[in-house]
Structure 1
């Protein structure tokens, strides 16, 4: 029997080599844990980041070698008159709720009770020092035009950055990063920096289109720091038209969420909108906890806090009061028709990101993924289905030369998924064993 030639598309191509050369002082594969802004918004007594040394050591014991954070460059080095505030930053969270407790109490990433103060510059230096002791590298980003200032007790941080004209925000960010990088260099931590992102999810932040208004700022920061990878991250990369991504980016740091069944639920319950008449609708009411107050009784965070973040008051109410078990049951029941398309969507987006990175000779990173935004105590992504999708995403990334990848956006000390320790250790070991 002879083999038939079926065309070049049938010829296997090994794309597992890294999309770009990585400096020798950095890990040749990054296993990333996403600490976002929580490393300073959940750093009070008894909270996950009260003991930074312990948190870093714990992450290292699970096989992580990279921590991705909001480094708050505008607050610390923005030249916006916030230095005194940064030295004595009061963390409040979204504030006390009218019915008791606090807003965001069961909302993932927003479950910040506050009630403490910290010197954020000293806290950042302590994190870098702990990372050095445990041989971890840092991915630095800013969430400041997305949500970070909303957790402060004072509106000064938000008001100062919001006063920057929209068209100037990337330039101000680049200037702040330049000063922060000089400061970190002076403290001996330059080689600890794996990646600098001008801002997190520029497409889902209070920022103009980066292709039109921010590429020059990225290019300038790259030129000033040619030894560092400098970029900006996309929340939803244009995977069907990656030519729209500006070539100025020094890395393809893109997030890969496949909402699928989750999006179907969110649309049915209208949880991401604001100002909807009759909210919550009948479907959402059927999923609420028995002790859920009315929207009117629960109230809402201060107006300035909602202006400082991209989430809505309907999201805060819905995630705080949905019955997490009922939420999970709905997703599991309705998942089968979405299974194949969610799996394919994860693979296609990862492959598109990696292909763009290989074309541009820059590293590829998946800094967030895989299913999407669920209630804090929802277990769909931690369960069998969510873990399988995460493993599929990670293995696809390895097969296509992606340098760094999260196991899941929820795999961090401030999420319940952190307790899946054996799963994290095993998958991190698989990443680190992959050839560069």
Structure 2
């Protein structure tokens, strides 16, 4: 697949800073979101020995660490909650260094597991959740090309919205929508819904890699996403909707109608980091080889020593522009994945020190720019060693929740 690589981009015109003192967050519940991205892992790592084997333990630990919102993929392409006992099977993906999702064979009544999980989550008043779809549909060259037979293969985002509507009807019947903070139609547009990049190229004559979107590209993207969101709003007006996106400033030229923003800001958007660490050169072996780990860690650390203030300043400026856009569009800004490297793993030669330092300063940046939701990194899952450092998480989550 085309990996969801951040791009160093600008937009055609700067977003002027606003002077409106109105704060949307004062009228939202919760007023602050501390987010943990759990993708498919919350059920596909539920088997014996898996990091989510004990739902009660993991949910209690989540509350203990101060996270009040978890991001879940209910897999509308695979899961029919009207038939929760149906046994589904995923083969071993042969990706031993896959940090999230699943990295072993999985077989079981995953719909029933999801129901059990949601009942336990809703029994804990502190916890909220968002729903997001990664749209793995067994279609090459996607990262996960093998899994159960899909219920339907969405050809565009409107068909994806129709699949969401089917799932949400059963979801509402079983759980209601209490504490569902927002729904993310598609993770990190344009990378995950099958065929979107190809259709964009065919319709506009230009791919995603251009320096600035043309008017035709802006129109195509807006019409595609707004049409899908319109279907959802008409069917379930009580919910909030978005599409998660990268911190790519070209989005600020696209008139999308999101109710809130889930923007993913990462270091590889800055070529000064990418060139020094050579991260992009390892895309093909991220999940299967560790021979690059030691050199990558060394390069990350010397890059931090040389230009950390510069990297932070540039990222802060980008957050500021999205924060201004959020105010203009009436869509409070969150992030459920962000800040340093979007790939890391608990491995002997991968040093997390620089990444955790970046995570620590990110909470101040989020507070400064009045973000509604924040996460320290995209490794807030119980299989990571950092999860065991309870005080580290509590220090950051409490700082944000009390801001």
Which TM-score tier does this pair reach, normalised by the shorter chain? Answer: 0.7 to 0.9
Once the two structures are overlaid, the 10-residue window that deviates more, 402-411 or 141-150, is: 141-150
CA contact (8 A) 2:89 2:147 kept: yes
Is structure 2 residue 99 aligned with structure 1 residue 108?
yes
CA contact (8 A) 1:255 1:366 kept: yes
Is structure 2 residue 352 aligned with structure 1 residue 382?
yes
Is structure 2 residue 237 aligned with structure 1 residue 237?
no
Q: CA deviation at 1:182?
A: 2.1
CA contact (8 A) 2:78 2:149 kept: no
Partner residue, 2:91: 92
Is structure 2 residue 331 aligned with structure 1 residue 362?
yes
Secondary structure at 2:178 match in 1: helix
Aligned Cα RMSD in Å?
A: 3.1
Task: With the length of structure 2 as denominator, give the TM-score of the two structures.
Answer: 0.79
> For the residues of structure 2 that align with 1:156 and 1:140, how far apart are their CA atoms?
22
Is structure 2 residue 227 aligned with structure 1 residue 258?
no
> For the residues of structure 2 that align with 1:150 and 1:334, how far apart are their CA atoms?
29
CA contact (8 A) 2:344 2:350 kept: no
Secondary structure at 2:286 match in 1: helix
> For the residues of structure 1 that align with 2:320 and 2:400, how far apart are their CA atoms?
17
Structure 1: where are the runs of 5+ without partners? Answer: 1-11, 95-102, 273-311
Specify whether residues 71 and 141 from structure 1 end up closer, same or farther in structure 2 by C-alpha distance, changes over 3 A only.
same
List per-residue Cα deviations over 1:99-132 (Å, max 9, x = no partner).
xxxx221232266122x42222222222221111
Structure 2: where are the runs of 5+ without partners? Answer: 1-16, 201-220
Secondary structure at 1:186 match in 2: helix
Specify whether residues 154 and 145 from structure 1 end up closer, same or farther in structure 2 by C-alpha distance, changes over 3 A only.
closer
> For the residues of structure 1 that align with 2:365 and 2:91, how far apart are their CA atoms?
40
Specify whether residues 156 and 176 from structure 1 end up closer, same or farther in structure 2 by C-alpha distance, changes over 3 A only.
same
Is structure 2 residue 115 aligned with structure 1 residue 122?
no
Secondary structure at 2:287 match in 1: helix
Partner residue, 1:183: 170
Q: CA deviation at 1:35?
A: 0.7
Is structure 2 residue 112 aligned with structure 1 residue 143?
no
Corresponding residue to 1:221 among 222, 232, 255: 232
Q: CA deviation at 1:43?
A: 1.6
Partner residue, 1:38: 41
Secondary structure at 1:139 match in 2: strand
> For the residues of structure 2 that align with 1:258 and 1:428, how far apart are their CA atoms?
22
> For the residues of structure 2 that align with 1:352 and 1:194, how far apart are their CA atoms?
24
Larger radius of gyration: 1
> For the residues of structure 2 that align with 1:177 and 1:86, how far apart are their CA atoms?
20
Corresponding residue to 2:340 among 351, 362, 371: 371
Task: With the length of structure 1 as denominator, give the TM-score of the two structures.
Answer: 0.73
Partner residue, 1:48: 51
Q: CA deviation at 1:92?
A: 2.8
Q: CA deviation at 1:391?
A: 2.6
Q: CA deviation at 1:342?
A: 1.7
